[in-house]
Amino acid sequence: MQDRQGQMRDRLLDLHRYGLIRVEVSGHSVGQINGLAVVSDGFQSVGRPSRVTAVTYAGSHGPLNIEREVEMSGPIHSKGVLILSGYLHDRFARDFPLSFGASVVFEQTYTPIEGDSASTAELFAILSSLSGLPARQDIGVTGSVDQRGRVLPVGGVNEKIEGFFEVCRAHALTGTQGVVIPESNVRNLVLGEDVLEAIAQGRFFIWPISTVEEGVELILGEPAGTPTEPDDDAAAFRYPERTVYGRVERRIARLRQLATPPRG
């Protein structure tokens, strides 16, 4: 039955294999994450990896959802992007405006986007861009996030894992590839035998996470950073310099200075 109804799956794989849908499954890139979605033709649901990219710059509006601006974003997806603003304020801008601009987009998507399961991927892309640290491209990411940074369960987790596995296998498994999922979704896993075999052989991995910081350290390769309460000096930083959040905090401070009009 799967073979008879697998035409959409095979077409998507061919598009990935021949580079018509661009998804990198090895190396590193700043501001780019492999987000995982599910598409359906009415008979079969298939996981489809998509590049999520973020560009950050001096400004004042915070994360800008390009899909929402062109009316391709459903209300739940738009809500997820707004939640990211709350998380960024909580971590980096409790006592002053979050003075930076960011554009976030799903590359090569031409249909409306709904759901908040890409929230973690979008957040990781923003943090990579702000910190300047390149993100691993051999990892696919799914998961919703709340304003406190807790990673929440999502739907279609099996299809998303299998979809990313198929794309990685089409380009050749490297032994480092895998998928980040919410820890609360582990109980929902019912994967195909080929995926289970690759996991057992150490050629593919599943990393369950319960907080954003766990994913940050895996994908960006540095400690997220433990905050300390600064002195009364408003210019003091909360995070150590050589951490992901320390880099983000200092970049936001520079962008805030650029966005502040000179006095006099």
Catalytic residue set: 117, 160
CB atoms within 10 A of CB 57: 12
Query: What CA–CA distance (Å, rounded) separates 194 from 49?
Result: 18
- Dihedral sign, Cα of residue 143, residue 26, residue 22, residue 106: positive
Tokens of 82: 């707004």
Query: What CA–CA distance (Å, rounded) separates 10 from 27?
Result: 25
CB atoms within 10 A of CB 176: 15
Buried b (16+ CB within 10 A) or exposed e, 28-48: bbbbbbbbbbbbeeeebbbbb
For residue 189, the cross-strand partners are none
Nearby residues of 90 by Cβ (< 8 Å), 6 or more positions away: 147, 148, 149
Would you give the DSSP letter of residue 262? P
Element (H, E) at 145: strand 144-145
Single-letter amino acid, residue 135:
A
